[in-house]
Amino acid sequence: MRIFITQPVAQSAIARLREIGEVDVNPNPLHIPSKEELLAAVHDHDILFCLLHDRIDRDIIAANPRLRMVASMTITPADIDTKEASARRIPVTVIPSALLNDATADLAWALIFSAGRRVSEADRLARAGTIPGSQSSYLEAGGVSGKTLGLIGVGGVGRAVAQRARGFPLRVIYHDPRRLPEEDEKSLNLTWMGFDQLLSTADFVSLHANLSPETRHLIGARELSLMKPTAFLINTSRGPIVDEQALIRALTERRIGGAGLDVFEHEPGIDPALLGLSNTVITTHMGSAVRELRERMANVAVDNIVAVSEGREPPNCWNKEIYALAH
């Protein structure tokens, strides 16, 4: 069995795969394979092990009639043509979302503090040789303690962010179409609010909704206009939840205080206009970039591959219906 991995993953995962087949890996962690490279790789391999930014379209899936599976190290295979894979009875596998809850919540808080205390801006100034006096007003910020944090979506990551908030003097409000049971609200010290009310109340609006047709551009010009001029938008969920051009306008015109962004509407590209704004903190979709976590994620992908190699239904199959058809 021949396996192609689109970018380097944990060595323990690669070693397990080499026990069951021949493994080829793109060795460059900074190079996302092009469509032409993926077509060539799929043509010569039985299993494709891909990462978040790989776009696996119909052409790629059809490049090898003997392709046995697409093993993705993502939670949702948004950039994989799962319809085409299903039509060809090719399993597409993912990883459980719960694996990423803590790491993503940690990063959300890193963005909250970096934005709320202008940490990234101060770092850039210091490296450029601008050192304001330690009590200069130049880098005064709104701060975090005593503010109101608004969570949009309280799934696994949203709950983990709320749990961390209990260690700070903050008011935490949330909006989710499915309101939590009263005992959960009480244990997490959460107060439910309507969507528009949350936007106009929170000092930090942190997004934790799943991407779906209903949530695409959930935050647009209207929603940004409801936010306080001092408020920050934090996004560690998915980029298309925010209308990026509307956000750029709001940030450029200083209609909101700023933004902390780990995800972007047209990844892996980042709009140059965002990069040029001093009131933004930008990271590179690194919510899961914790060494131990990434190793677990890669090994879950291997668990799925091993199952397929042994003729079993993989434990994290996205298109399970292909197995129902077999019976």
The yes-or-no answer on residue 267 being catalytic is yes
The one catalytic residue among 84, 185, 267, 295: 267
Residue 20 exposed, middle or buried by CB count within 10 Å (0-12, 13-18, 19+): middle
Active site annotation includes 216? no
Per annotation, catalytic residue among 238, 244, 265, 296: 238
Tell me the β-bridge partners of 281: 260
- The answer to whether 285 is a known catalytic residue is yes
Nearest Cα neighbor of 19 from 299, 294, 296 is 299
H/E segment holding residue 246: helix 244-252
C-alpha closest to that of 317 among 8, 155, 31, 89: 89
- Tell me whether residue 127 is exposed, middle or buried, using C-beta atoms within 10 angstroms of its C-beta: 0 to 12, 13 to 18, 19 or more: exposed
Of the candidates 159, 164, 175, 285, the residue annotated as catalytic is 285
Q: How far apart are CA 212 and CA 164, in angstroms?
A: 27
Strands (E), the chain: 2-5, 22-25, 47-50, 69-72, 92-93, 148-152, 171-175, 190-192, 204-207, 232-235, 258-261, 280-282
Of 280, 268, 282, whose CA–CA distance to 236 is shortest?
282
Give the whole-angstrom CA distance, residue 146 versus residue 163.
16
- Residues with catalytic annotation? 238, 267, 285
